Amino acid sequence: MSIFVNKSTKVLCQGLTGTQASFHIKRSLDYGTSVVAGVTPGKGGSLHLGLPVFGSVQEAVRETKASASIMYVPASHLKLAVREAIEAELDLAVSIAAGVPLKDMLEIKAMLKGSKTKLIGPNTPGIITPDEARLGIFPIDIHTKGHIGVVSRSSTLTYDAVLEIKKAGLGESTVIGLGDDILIGVDFVDVLREFHRDAATKAIVMIGQLSGAFEEAAAEWYKSQTHKKPVIAFIAGEAVPFGHNMGYAGDVITNGYISVQDKKDALIDAGMIVVNHINDINLALADLQ
């Protein structure tokens, strides 16, 4: 078991014919991901990496029954790409695009509301269920199948968290990068909820960050649950002086001034295990057993 994607998830790729897409889709195919189609407007009817290319998502879905999309489209095209995914009623869309305009994301979030499509990202390494499916840009040789769910706001620290799990002799059920933009698709609460429903996930590693109030929302949700799976949490940024522009200025006035310590306190209060350094995760995992 896993969440969102597994080996039978049929995946299409929006923007398949680009250079970065080709590099990473080839790796995903080698990994065993069931990529069944590509979509590039204007290039329908051709073959790329042995995959049929369609002119629209709807056409690709009709022909291949794909239910998830990995999008290698530039930030400026994301809104159109997500609209297509929503109209084709995909379950999942994953965007790795960096630098998506805030206003576009406001519009994307409004479109997603009331649709059946879930968006992971943008600006994320994506989602990987070890040995089953890789949608994104994750390194291919660091994951092991196992029972730890990973969810992270920081792309690069996700890899560090996975290496810590390996060091503890464990593996992952599913690993998800939420992306660290001001606005994101699925958030901690959405993913924690799925991990709690997933029989294969026994414990969760959660990597938060300085800005936004997603960690506080996660703490609130977790606190309200009666059946809790253990969550090991880490938040970087304690040593960064306040106002150093690493966070989002609007946060302070919108949510009050929240320091890393405040966030940690909220998570501890909710019952999570909070570690001070990323390399303490493997010890915390060992303690669980």
Binding site for other proteins (CB under 8 A): 20, 75-76, 96, 98-107, 109-110, 125, 136-139, 142, 152-157, 159-160, 163, 180, 182-184, 207, 209-214, 217, 236-241, 243-246, 248-257, 276-279
Q: How far is the CB of 179 from other proteins (least distance, A)?
A: 11
Sign of the CA dihedral with 238 first, then 241, 246, and 250 last: positive
Judged by beta carbon, residue 64 or residue 211, the one nearer other proteins is 211
Judged by beta carbon, residue 82 or residue 105, the one nearer other proteins is 105
Q: How far is CA 137 from the centre of its chain?
A: 11
What's the number of CA atoms in the CB half-sphere (13 Å) around residue 261?
Answer: 4
Q: How far is the CB of 40 from other proteins (least distance, A)?
A: 20
Judged by beta carbon, residue 44 or residue 237, the one nearer other proteins is 237
Q: How far is the CB of 74 from other proteins (least distance, A)?
A: 11
Judged by beta carbon, residue 40 or residue 154, the one nearer other proteins is 154
Q: How far is the CB of 46 from other proteins (least distance, A)?
A: 25
Q: How far is the CB of 140 from other proteins (least distance, A)?
A: 8
Distance between CA atoms of 262 and 270, rounded to whole angstroms?
12
- 141 burial (CB, 10 Å; 0-12 / 13-18 / 19+) is exposed
Bond before 52 cis per omega within 30 degrees: no
Residue 14 vs residues 33, 53, 132, 179: alpha-carbon distances, Å: 15, 10, 20, 19
